[in-house]
């Protein structure tokens, strides 16, 4: 798979979520579709918001919420396995998104802690 930026991956994931949710509505799974749309599209919105964070702590907080939404999305995708056409592509993208978010949080924490140590020296 080509290496995509988090924003591009999140946009592609959100667009594919909309397609999948349309499929879910056709098979009378509207409740799951609504849940999946909410958390699936929130991942990209939260990471976009984090890119404009006011501090390292703000960035980490927003990215942690994005990770929670990604994990909820994975839950719903597990529930609908076999019910939609592009299921594996969604899973693959979501795993990549989760890895990027996790690494971003780790890096931000590390950099924040380094700054705190430098200031206290």
- In the predicted model, what is the mean pLDDT of the chain? 92
Strands (DSSP E) contained in the chain are none
Q: What would the mean pLDDT of 58-76 be, rounded to a whole number?
A: 97
pLDDT of residue 1: 38
What predicted TM-score, i.e. pTM, was given to this entire model?
0.90
Say how far apart CA 92 and CA 89 lie, in whole Å.
Answer: 5
CATH fold for domain 6-120: de novo design (two linked rop proteins) (1.20.1440)
> Please, is 31 exposed, middle or buried when counting C-beta atoms within 10 Å of its C-beta (0-12, 13-18, 19+)?
exposed
Q: Is the pLDDT assigned to residue 4 strictly greater than 80?
A: no
Q: What would the mean pLDDT of 100-104 be, rounded to a whole number?
A: 97
Residue 62 to residues 6, 10, 22, 25, 67, Cα–Cα distance (Å): 14, 15, 28, 30, 9
- Among candidate residues 27, 68, 29, the one with its CA nearest the CA of residue 47: 68
């Amino acid at each position: 798979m080509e290496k995509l930026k988090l924003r591009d991956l999140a946009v592609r994931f959100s667009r594919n979520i909309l397609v999948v949710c349309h499929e879910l509505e056709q098979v009378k799974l509207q409740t799951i579709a609504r849940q999946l749309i909410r958390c699936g599209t929130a991942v990209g919105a939260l990471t976009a918001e984090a890119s404009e964070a006011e501090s390292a702590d703000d960035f980490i907080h927003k990215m942690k919420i994005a990770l929670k939404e990604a994990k909820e999305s994975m839950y719903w995708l597990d529930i609908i396995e076999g019910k939609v056409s592009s299921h594996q592509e969604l899973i693959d993208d979501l795993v990549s998104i989760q890895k990027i978010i996790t690494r971003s949080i780790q890096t931000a924490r590390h950099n924040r802690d380094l700054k705190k140590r430098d200031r206290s020296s």
